[in-house]
Amino acid sequence: MDIAQIVGLALITTILLLIIRQEKPVMAVLLTVVCAVVIFTLMMEKLVSVINVMKELVARAEVNYFFFSTILKIIGVAYLADFTAAICQDAGEGAIAKKVEFAAKVIVVVLAIPIMVAILESLMELMPG
């Protein structure tokens, strides 16, 4: 019951944060970061198993692995940026959170360029002329 562990951890952390935040706001931020890292660590095993299943499906379908790996990178950037931005927001640093989100969007566009080029090349091959 992974979700039960996560919910329990989140509820306990939230209660502790309500108590600690008034007296020691720095400790509250630290506790938030620790909770986030623990949850992220708990989910890593699940993410690895999902990626392994997807790799096998790509191999069976004989799809170009380059596209699959690029899409995985894009998903990874999106998840990590969202996770980091949420931590920054929790720490009261909304401006930094926005910069992280902006950087992630730029990185996603850069990663997507080879896929867009391949799609355009394929379309150009299909067009007569």
- The total of structural domains in the chain comes to 2
CA–CA dist 85, 98 (Å, integer): 7
Question: Could you give the CA distance from residue 83 to residue 90 in angstroms, rounded to a whole number?
Answer: 11
Using CA atoms, how far apart are residues 6 and 15, in angstroms rounded to an integer? 14
pLDDT at 1 over 80: no
Residues 93, 74: one domain? yes
Q: Report the predicted TM-score, pTM, of the whole model to 2 decimal places.
A: 0.79
Give me the torsion for CA of 32, 37, 39, 45, rounded to 10°. 180
Domain encompassing residue 2: 1-55
23 and 77 in a single domain? The answer is: no
Mean per-residue pLDDT of the chain:
91
> What six digits make up the tokens of 43?
């989910």
Do 119 and 88 belong together in one domain? yes
Residues 11 and 41 in one domain: yes
Model confidence at 88, pLDDT cuts 50, 70, 90, reads very high
Domain boundary among 55, 84, 101: 55
When pLDDT is averaged across residues 80-107 and rounded to a whole number, the result is 94
Cα dihedral 49/51/55/56 (nearest 10): 30
